[in-house]
Amino acid sequence: MPPSWPWFTTRCSLRCGGDEAELFEVAALISSAGAAPQILHSDTVFTPTAQLFTAFVALQDVTRTQGPTRFVVGSHDGERGADAHRALAEDVDDETFCSTASSTSVLGILSAGDASIFDSRLLHCGGPHFVQTPPAVLASAASAAAAAASAASAVVALEAEPTAAPELLLPVERVLFYVSFRHVLAATDLSNADTHGAGSIRPELSQLKLRLGELRKQAQAKRDSAAVA
């Protein structure tokens, strides 16, 4: 069953030092069909204490081929975390590390409404998002191969228009709703400014410095009034 908002915010409160935790990021992560995998990274540097607690909420099913996020288990703290971050830093090509990491990692394969929640020091990356080949194209490719093998009837409709029912095709964009809260004791220079041209929170929302406790109260009031109605 997908986690509920109260379930998530209770965990946020526990992980972020209480209800004074600030809403830090609210965005959508969109990966289009054909997107290359991301490089393994953490969202904040490796520090002895937690900085952010994040949820990626699936807005539609995320299958194995749609670039699910890969998370390296235990890479957020302790000796294991220090080793993982050191190995990544030493591996300038990222390749060796990614292949070793895959044996100690999990994939965020999600149903719509599920969420992956994680400490921002955890190493993770968006996976490769494969372009889906419609079944009709696969079928015509197979018959083309058979025809080419059996005779020289060369002109086969390899480029035939796909005729698969649209509901059999996966969405071409994988969208994750992305929200994070800042630990009450997090470094004061932690920035969510729009440094890469892809802001993870709108400035006017950031300026409000919304606190987890206030958001929880507002959500509870909405639930109560919906229950009465």
Q: Counting contacts by CB under 6 A, is residue 54 touching ligand AKG? A: no
Task: State how far the alpha carbon of 8 is from the alpha carbons of 104, 132, 201, 204, in Å.
Answer: 25, 33, 19, 24
Q: Compute the least distance from the CB of residue 38 to ligand AKG, in Å.
A: 6
List the beta bridge partners of residue 52.
182
Residue 26 within binding range of ligand AKG, rule CB under 6 A: no
Matching residue, tokens 């955890």: 122
Nearest-CB residue to ligand AKG? 126
Q: How far is the CB of 54 from ligand AKG (least distance, A)?
A: 9
CB of 59 to ligand AKG, least distance (A): 12
Contacting ligand AKG within 62-101 (CB under 6 A): 69
Contact (Cβ atoms closer than 8 angstroms) between residue 59 and residue 89: no
Count, residues near ligand AKG per rule CB under 6 A = 7
Q: Is 17 in the site for ligand AKG (CB under 6 A)?
A: no
Using CB under 6 A, pick the residue from 122, 123, 126, 206 that binds ligand AKG: 126
Q: Quote the distance between the C-alpha of residue 102 and its chain's center.
A: 16
Counting contacts by CB under 6 A, is residue 29 touching ligand AKG? Answer: yes
Q: Looking at beta carbons only, is 69 or 132 nearer to ligand AKG?
A: 69
E-strand stretches of 33-114: 52-58, 69-72, 105-107
**Nearest 10 degrees: CA dihedral of 80, 81, 83, 86?**
180
Question: Does 31 participate in binding ligand AKG (rule CB under 6 A)?
Answer: yes
Structure tokens at 42: 């953490």
According to the binding rule CB under 6 A, does residue 117 interact with ligand AKG?
no
Please give the span between the terminal C-alpha atoms of the chain, in angstroms, as a whole number. 25
Contacts with ligand AKG by CB under 6 A lie at 29, 31, 38, 43, 69, 124, 126
